[in-house]
Structure 1
């Protein structure tokens, strides 16, 4: 019998993991502390010589079950779950980078991530923002003190597709930590390991959880990076397999020190949502492609940015990387004379909201909301004019979505 597919593995993950009483879901463990009958055992757990739980800030059996599930989906050798995707990114950057280090990042990234990178600069980390769709620009930015390269698989909100595999090869050649944010593609379209990532970040709030009812984030270690080459691993974490050192430091700093802890009840909700990731992503990608074609032909639309369209600059790359499924995010620019707010206020099916990766189609005027603080100059550099709509496509019936946008654009 051949190996089971993605959805089969995900659906059957829970009850194959030795759950209590044969339950199909891991139990919710709300306890804050965990006791031991033997003080030697308690000390061994604290010193990482034995597996176990001490205090819920650093994890519970329920969050551990979710972490194992995400590791399976990403084909990694370990995962740490966090309260949000931003907490996961903070843990990566602040646990691993030091004053004087150099970070290369894509200039096409989520607005909050961009803000976080500006904060890193305040702490003395040198930053280069480059066009990550071209590996030559990443290579040209290399410095002797470069420690890390960070990209999103599909950029939010411009949908640029980074030169993921070539950047991975470059990082491997220079022994750099390669961090890939896979939130918009999810491990279902392609695990970050396939691109040579050292660490893969997912906002579990988005496609993996999928239902708009839980916040969470995760950092998965692929096992491809040998942390003996990284200078900032604390001596206490230089134990056992060197391919696991980085994640241990991220866990200790991100959970124990920074407190970005995911609760057990939310972890349980996210794990249940993850079971249908494959089904939802297939429907989302199909809906997104249909809506992109419709809007691309509309007279009030200046352009549609979606990797599934043949006119997208990285269409061929997206097809190669993600097997003909291009995610669920559209960047839609309305023509200058079009009243963006009037159009949005006419929508009946699509909801006006700031989330993405949900079952529901969500729309917002990006320049006036999530990128407003960035200022007009930075928005112009990122290609986000005032008429830019970010559309996160959901699982509704295709005809209903198209009809909704058709009537919304019937404005005078």
Structure 2
């Protein structure tokens, strides 16, 4: 039983103001363990706790997954029969399912002691990679059937699915040469009959939305000419050879052999088509969807930020080791989420004449958590997954972050 998860669930405004869905989330939170923030439960069991029809419980659970509060790992026996699902609850301990944005919270009456709102969390590439590794391992828990189909799979549309699968909700894909973000993903039709996986998209060039599109008609975005930056045209995917979703064979993200991303807003960029490395005021005035259509990593950085050419080249080299398959796709994702400007800011800070004090040079604890802007002991760091907390401790050191050092110290070692 996780008191942390249950206390957090009570703070939330669930699915607008849905009382039964909130009670279901609180019941799930009360069943989760503190180490994994997950529990094993059948729909019938949850329905019995809420004293409602199982079909209604299934509907509520689907709504919680669609809203991002939980992710459901569907599991099967070796003979194909359904096992009880494993339900993971998202919150500040996993950066709200990798998004960094907190869920909506209730407001207490003025006569009550006010609650401090849960702050957002900056999701670093290291955190994102750690989440990908964990959720991939969970999905591979029982291996595969003889035909290669995984015995566990993340429910489509959940935040865990978006982390491990390249065409998950919120991710960037390419359809008919146009960059788009995924709005929905499903494997059933309007009559709830099984169909090949398909998605609905919002195109970045004009914000229009598509009808249902088959996943096999999509590709992952990547640069047309990665070798122009000295990169390896056949970069090695990270992780295992196959996706927990069973979608493709080449990458844990479900990657297929992609075609180059063709610009869908070339008319807007005629003035810069002859020199991709030249920044201009006109490019800065274009909408974000038109600012991330360069064809090489260098051009992508220059189009999406105010970096000089030297800064852009340095930033590309910083980001190159973090890209698991497509450096251009990784840069586009950072730009779309607003993280690319932050990475440029970090690069400029590191290259400043007076570098920041490193962990080994610190003379005392920080007054405020550098990640969450909270006074030490940081309440957000206190509920982070241990591996994420360890990443922060490695970054800042035990002198600056004695709260993390005390939390992660072995039980028999004095803090």
Common topology (TM > 0.5): no
Q: Which has the larger radius of gyration?
A: 2
TM-score interval (norm. to shorter): under 0.3
Q: Kindly indicate whether structure 1 or structure 2 has the higher relative contact order, using CA contacts under 8 Å at least 6 residues apart.
A: 1
